Amino acid sequence: MGVVALVTGAIFVLRGLVPTLSLGVLYVFAVLPIAVVWGLGYALVVSIASMLAFNWFFLPPIHTFTLADSENWLALLVYMATAVVVSQLAARSRRQAREASLLAEIAATLLEHGTVGDELQSISAEAARALGVGDAQIEVGEDAPAGVGRIDLVAGGRRVGAIALGEKPLSAAGRRLLPALTSLLAVAIDRERLSGEALQAEALRRGDVVKTALLRAVSHDLRTPLMAISTSAGALARPELEITEADRAELLATILDASDRLERLVGNLLDLSRLQAGAAEPLAEVWDVEELVANALDELGPAAGRIELALAVEELSVSVDATQIQRVLVNLLENALKYSGAEVRLQTTATASEVLIRVVDHGPGVPPAERESIFEPFQRGLQRGDQRGAGLGLAIARGFAEANGGRVWVESRLDQGATFVLALPLARVGVAA
């Protein structure tokens, strides 16, 4: 009642300046804040107290509660009407703010956290608060069960789901909130569906890119050696052709060389499929790095004559799958030989924890923008002459290196060649535990 006392004191101060009856309107300033903050019940109490105080202190007969003038009754009615109207408006404003806040919380839950299905429990709890019921259970989907105690959630003519509210009837606030809640659920479900479709479309697109690249690689890298084999074998099979021993040997060499190319391509495709399927589990053993390099050079055959070695003086050992690391070295060396018109240098060094094998060529180098993409499958660089590859060697080299706990990267400057670096964990041999 402090606010009534304050207004009464103000009337005492002003009654010598303004007609007393006119000052009764000041009690509205006592009723308004109470109606806004605490609602209709408190506002009615304050309006009655205001009228009684005005009557007791200012209306004749003073210090009695007798209302001798009908205007006093009108003033009381004005205060009470003001209390009712203002409290209703304030209650509506508070209710709308609370409903908007709850809908905002539900929207944030739907749009920011996981999938709709994962968040249904928290959404149901927030919906129960918003609808003013003790418990609510929401199920989404056109096949959500219906029946007694359940209300269908329909948005835009589409059944989004159903909500179970128990036996308590839906309030007026619930009837206002339910369409908005249904619309939020519909938007979240559509967003989730579209996101899934976008991911599927992207996966299909990437699959088409890989398939296209594979077909391009196979169309050239299979057709060329097959044509060489077919042409050479056809010439050898024609009895009417007079072929010298030198020509015969050359045709046989062509067949063998083309067969080797086919074997390498098929092997690369199989290796790539194993890496992508996660089936390239290494069988690690301790190997001397010089021995691994020697085995890789033996596999290269005559091309190994163009490779200059600069091996570390100390003995370096690594714990790796020898077959896989040998394939890494062969692929790096073959790639360098394709691009380099001169010798290729292979150098081994070591840090405190790794063995570094560098393959240095004198080719055109690798642009900065391509230093990662060249390790993707079916990525072809600009090669000298008419030499072309399927774009698998570097991808397989990195895949096998990483499977063995190593790394492969390139260091290069344009027109100054490229250095491909293979880093493998150093194995400590003969160190007491």
> Given pLDDT bands bounded at 50, 70 and 90, which one contains residue 385?
very low
Q: What is the CATH number of the domain that holds 293?
A: 3.30.565.10
Distances (CA, A) of 369 to 366, 413, 416: 8, 12, 16
pLDDT of res. 358? 95
CA 273 to chain centre: 26
pTM (predicted TM-score): 0.49
Q: Domain residues for 286?
A: 281-380+389-425
Q: Judge if 298 and 270 occupy the same domain.
A: no
Give dist(CA 190, CA 2) in Å, integer: 55
| Range from 43-57, 74-88, 308-322 carrying the lowest mean pLDDT | 74-88
The answer to the question of residue 214 being in a domain is: no
Give dist(CA 154, CA 159) in Å, integer: 4
Please give the residue that has the higher pLDDT: either 259 or 193. 259
The answer to the question of residue 207 being in a domain is: no
Closest CA to 37 of 80, 91, 85: 91
The answer to the question of residue 110 being in a domain is: no
Q: Judge if 301 and 399 occupy the same domain.
A: yes
pLDDT at position 128 over 80: no
Please give the residue that has the higher pLDDT: either 387 or 105. 105
Q: Judge if 83 and 122 occupy the same domain.
A: no
The answer to the question of residue 229 being in a domain is: yes
pLDDT at position 382 over 70: no
Please give the residue that has the higher pLDDT: either 116 or 232. 232
Distances (CA, A) of 34 to 1, 23, 82: 10, 19, 11
The answer to the question of residue 106 being in a domain is: no
Q: What is the mean pLDDT of residues 55-77?
A: 69
Q: Judge if 287 and 414 occupy the same domain.
A: yes
Please give the residue that has the higher pLDDT: either 196 or 210. 196
Q: Judge if 247 and 330 occupy the same domain.
A: no
The answer to the question of residue 210 being in a domain is: no
The answer to the question of residue 212 being in a domain is: no
Q: Judge if 257 and 125 occupy the same domain.
A: no
Q: What is the largest CA-CA distance in the chain?
A: 146
Cβ neighbours around 321 below 10 Å, total: 18
pLDDT at position 292 over 90: yes
| Range from 324-328, 341-345, 350-354, 401-405 carrying the lowest mean pLDDT | 341-345
pLDDT at position 433 over 50: no
Q: Judge if 401 and 306 occupy the same domain.
A: yes
Q: How many domains does the chain have?
A: 4
Please give the residue that has the higher pLDDT: either 168 or 309. 309
pLDDT of res. 98? 67
3-state class of 223 per DSSP?
helix
The answer to the question of residue 365 being in a domain is: yes
Q: What is the mean pLDDT of residues 142-170?
A: 71
Q: Judge if 290 and 419 occupy the same domain.
A: yes
Give dist(CA 123, CA 103) in Å, integer: 10
> Given pLDDT bands bounded at 50, 70 and 90, which one contains residue 309?
very high
88-95 contacts, C-beta under 8 A, 24 or more apart? 88/40, 90/35, 90/36, 90/37, 90/39, 91/39, 91/40, 95/173
Q: Judge whether 268 and 327 are in contact, CB under 8 Å.
A: no
Please give the residue that has the higher pLDDT: either 322 or 128. 322
